Amino acid sequence: MKPLLLIEDTASLQMVYESVLRGAGHEVVSASTAAEGAALFQKHAPDVVLLDLMLPDRSGQELMRDLLEIKPDTNVIVVTANGSINRAVEAMRAGAYEFLLKPFNEQRFLNAVENALDDGNRSKPTTSPGTAPGAFGTFVGSSPLMQQVYARIRSVGRSMATVFITGESGTGKEICAQAVHEKSNRANGPFVPLNCGAIPSDLLESEVFGHLKGSFTGAIADKPGAAAVADGGTLFLDEICEMDLNLQTKLLRFLQTSMIQPVGAPTPRKVNVRIICATNRDPMEEVRRGRFREDLYYRLHVVPIHLPPLRDRGHDVIEIAEASIARFANDEGRAFTGLDEATKQLFQQLEWPGNVRQLLNVLRHAIVLHDGPLVTQDMLPLDLRHETEALSHAPTAPMVGAPPRVALDGLLGKTLAEIEQLVIEETIQRHGGSVPRAARVLDVSPSTIYRKRESWAKKP
């Protein structure tokens, strides 16, 4: 068995780490400088390296890049002081397997090492013979952009690092989070998704951390929060940028301590949860606008995964469509087998603003209302057929200097408050009754819309 390589310049800490590792049955070789570490790495070719980022002769991050260039499948666990979390985040993005912030306890240290040792297949593809090159969990698509996503999921799966998923609405962020969970050593534990944008802010704390009976009006029984339910598994916080600022503070404390305190509980308790979060917004822009805490952003944005929009994925749209047609046809008892050539060409030309979710809705519509064997353009929903007609006509150039026309019929004569209510309700209706989607279009928090609708309902 290959020894672990420990590179730590503080002699007392080096002795403590060696003692803990050897007590757990691991063989260890140690170095105090980057140069010594590089020499031992060449000699032993270890599978796991424990690396302090602050070394006397060279940056630990630069050393890590050199080690990974020599042996890319090495699992590097970086160690740094609590005040240097930005360095740890940068190291994760550069290929580190895991990071430990000093001070950490013995069990956390050993868990990180065991996870790194167990992950012997980190860089190997997970598809079996006969599987499509792009098949990965429930994802479908073999485009280069998605192959990069699959590789990132494989590499981060067994780490405890927080994953931050970004991408437009409908690109499959929850599917991505589920895939990370299934590639982790927590796969047998619970996967608990929570949509932060779909829950009013005054209820969100209870949903995340739980509450005790009688802790507030309506609390008729004890309720475990999502964080407690996810103990031993993964908590997926979707639409994280919708979270109220006060709750962001409590989430940051939870990430730092792993302690939860249900509403009304006298004392906190510890849980073992991995956090994955997602948003369809630009998180740094939310930080700049003061809607998302900067310290929470850096705590969460350790390993980013960006899901590309469907319009940038080339032939993936056809792969997804044909795989979905087979499933829907089976569900609905229809004889569909695929798309005709004209529809294939059209699907690759469309913008798909709703991404994969929109594509699936279009196909479900066609299969429910028609029968096969092929999906043709005349089976598509009316709004998509209008878009088809627009693509077939060359665009006309707008008049230079002409201002955009805005239809004001029905608004003139109303108060500003009445106009606001009309616009909000119409936006919600046009987005299938979804308050979070309407809120994104209107660039407000869903909780703002919930409060306004509640106040309108109270009016006589």
The number of CA neighbours under 13 Å toward the Cβ of 257 is: 12
Q: What is the SS3 assignment for 259?
A: strand
* Residue ranges per structural domain of the chain: 4-118, 144-306, 310-392, 416-458
For the domain spanning 4-118, the CATH number is 3.40.50.2300
Which residues lie below 8 Å from residue 184, measured CB to CB, with a gap of 6+? 157, 158, 159, 234, 274
The CB-based long-range contact list for 413-421 (8 Å cut-off, 24+ gap) reads: 420/452, 421/452, 421/456
Segments of the chain scoring below 70 in pLDDT:
82-85, 93, 119-135, 385-410, 445-447, 460
Pick from 178, 266, 262: nearest CA to 226? 262
Are the folds of 144-306 and 310-392 the same? no
If one counts every other C-beta atom within 10 angstroms of the C-beta of residue 62, the result is: 13
The CATH architecture to which 310-392 belongs is: Orthogonal Bundle (1.10)
- Cα Rg for the chain, rounded, in angstroms? 26
Rounded to whole angstroms, the Cα distance separating 427 from 432 reads: 9
Structure tokens at 36: 């010594």
**Per-residue model confidence (pLDDT) at position 407:** 54
Rounded to whole angstroms, the Cα distance separating 444 from 442 reads: 6
**Per-residue model confidence (pLDDT) at position 83:** 55
* Burial tier of 290 (Cβ tally within 10 Å: 0-12, 13-18, 19+): exposed
Q: What is the SS3 assignment for 274?
A: strand
For the domain spanning 416-458, the CATH number is 1.10.10
Nearest-5° Cα angle at 230, 291 to 251: 25
**Per-residue model confidence (pLDDT) at position 401:** 43
**Per-residue model confidence (pLDDT) at position 219:** 80
Instruction: Domain 144-306: state its class.
Output: alpha beta
Bridge partners (DSSP) listed for residue 270: 259
Q: What is the SS3 assignment for 200?
A: coil
Size of the chain in residues = 460
